Structure 1
Amino acid sequence: MTAQDQAPVPISITICGDGGCGKSSITLRLVRSAWTSDYDPTIEDNYSVTRVIDGVTYHLCLTDTAGQEEYRGMWASSNLGADAFLMVYDITSRDSLDALQHFDELISMESEVRLDNADRARIAGISPAYTGSGAGSRTVQPVKIVAGNKCDLQDKRTVPAATGLEWSRSRGCGFMETSARLEVNIEETFALIVKRVVEARKLAEEGGDSADLSARGMTKPLTPLPGSGGDGDEKRGPGVRGPILNGDKVGRGQGGFWKKLRCW
């Protein structure tokens, strides 16, 4: 059976972060392959897109949430019921990284609820495995990934990549640096989210202990992406997007500066 013959596997992703950090730009870059410099504050938008990853078709349901502090109280329980959370900050704003603490605390509370649900299911003799929708999905630990966006603005950077990585690892999150404008690590970020969700579901189906997810509610650090080229090869291969900035190659599968920041 080919990917085209399979019913798409649903995965829900909530995208959160401070206002103006580029959440909508990342979402629209994935969904529409478009980017705009106009900033229009989002209250909440929903999108869907289909991707084939490792031969399996996935239907990604994306919720782009409000970042402004005055709108954060509008977060619905459905946002916290997502399979994964992409927490976005702006590498040119330390405040935007600090703002992620609010969202991380909400997600951590949701993780505790899911752990309790899974424990009750086991006590009742019911498998806490993912069932496809509804309450079954609320027993599987959510995946958390942090994206340091606007990594094309190196001259305005105030948050070193090492700082973003340390913040993410200390909270059990995967870490990427992205650029919606230059389309750096957009597809890769969502592909890795899908893979981590699949891992979490498989663990639940096998009856694994929730602690196997690198502790309560945590996800394993991401591993470097394959296929990064050497610094000396300036030739652009298929699928490479974006210019070369100051001698550093930008785009998928490139080496140089971006090779060190792509994925952790």
Structure 2
Amino acid sequence: MDPDNRITITVCGDGGCGKSSITLRLVRSEWTHDYDPTIEDSYSVTRTVDGQSYFLMLTDTAGQEEYRSLWAASNLRSDAFLLVYDITNQHSLEGLEYFAEMIDMEEENRIDQGKVPPVKLVAGNKCDLSSARVVKAAEGLEWARKRGCGFMETSAREMVNIEETFALLVRRVVEARRIAASGGASAKQPARTGALPPLGEKEGSSATPPNGEDHEPKQSFWKRLRCW
């Protein structure tokens, strides 16, 4: 396969947030709730996005603090990073700071070297557990925006936004490479990933709920759609 169609993705986040469940949903089309705190697992899968076939190489990293020092340098060389938190666990969102800081340092290094900066996307997982929600969607969206990341809410169990999330990562990696090849991102400007609109709306439209809350009038799209 053409090297340009190979994309490496590192999935990171606190232990128990559902990283492995998301990864296995994509790779094996199955959901697992069994939690195995392994150091790291690697998978590969082929997906067709916008008529083009891509070979995705996924690294599902361990989230426990005792394993973080073992993060291989190869993880940071990925084309894209999926930062996962659990919407029922506030600490899991705060725990993304560690990974975001490491990725930001890698991004700066690549920009200084004239290389393609990594794509970053935040996923608020377990959005099917609405009754146990602790982290509002607006909070996760704001966290992602402040750090130059895209945003999506997912559910590995209900297969919500799993394929869409990885398809978007692919599109943004392809776009970042195109911009770099044309000289547009080789200088000092990182290729930032903006916040994502709700499914069904065009990317680039406003994705911020009115007043930054989930509680809007009855007719509000944001009120009716808890995952985007």
| TM-score for both structures, normalised by structure 2 | 0.86
How much does 1:217 deviate?
A: 5.4
Cα distance in structure 2, aligned partners of 1:20 and 1:31: 19
How much does 1:36 deviate?
A: 1.5
| 1:216-227 to 2 correspondences below 5 Å | 216=190, 218-226=192-200
Cα distance in structure 1, aligned partners of 2:187 and 2:192: 9
How much does 1:38 deviate?
A: 1.3
Match of 2:94 in 1: 98
SS at match of 1:261: coil
Do the aligned partners of residues 179 and 260 (structure 1) sit closer, same or farther apart at CA in structure 2, a change above 3 Å counting?
A: closer
Do the aligned partners of residues 59 and 174 (structure 1) sit closer, same or farther apart at CA in structure 2, a change above 3 Å counting?
A: same
How much does 1:211 deviate?
A: 7.2
Contact 2:79–2:173 under 8 Å retained in 1: yes
Cα distance in structure 1, aligned partners of 2:187 and 2:151: 20
1:187 aligns with 2:163: yes
| 1:138-217 to 2 correspondences below 5 Å | 139-210=115-186, 216=190
Cα distance in structure 2, aligned partners of 1:56 and 1:258: 33
Cα distance in structure 1, aligned partners of 2:128 and 2:53: 31
In structure 1, stretches of 5+ residues that fail to align are: 1-5, 119-138, 229-254
Counterpart AA for 2:146: S
Counterpart AA for 1:151: C
| TM-score for both structures, normalised by structure 1 | 0.75
Higher relative contact order (CA 8 A, sep 6+): 2
1:38 aligns with 2:4: no
Match of 2:8 in 1: 12
Q: Which whole-Å deviations, capped at 9, do the CAs of 1:91-129 have from their partners, x for residues lacking one? A: 0000000000000000000001001110xxxxxxxxxxx
Match of 2:217 in 1: none
Match of 1:247 in 2: none
SS at match of 1:141: coil
Match of 1:87 in 2: 83
How many residues are aligned here? 209
How much does 1:221 deviate?
A: 2.5
SS at match of 1:144: strand
Do the aligned partners of residues 227 and 220 (structure 1) sit closer, same or farther apart at CA in structure 2, a change above 3 Å counting?
A: closer
SS at match of 2:199: coil
Cα RMSD (Å) = 2.0
Cα distance in structure 2, aligned partners of 1:257 and 1:15: 29
How much does 1:224 deviate?
A: 3.6
Cα distance in structure 1, aligned partners of 2:147 and 2:222: 28
Cα distance in structure 2, aligned partners of 1:59 and 1:116: 28
Q: Give aligned-pair identity as a percent.
A: 64
Counterpart AA for 1:101: E
| 1:63-142 to 2 correspondences below 5 Å | 63-118=59-114, 139-142=115-118
Q: Which whole-Å deviations, capped at 9, do the CAs of 1:163-194 have from their partners, x for residues lacking one? A: 00000000000000000000000000000000
Q: Which whole-Å deviations, capped at 9, do the CAs of 1:132-164 have from their partners, x for residues lacking one? A: xxxxxxx10100000000001111111000000
Contact 2:12–2:81 under 8 Å retained in 1: yes
How much does 1:219 deviate?
A: 1.6
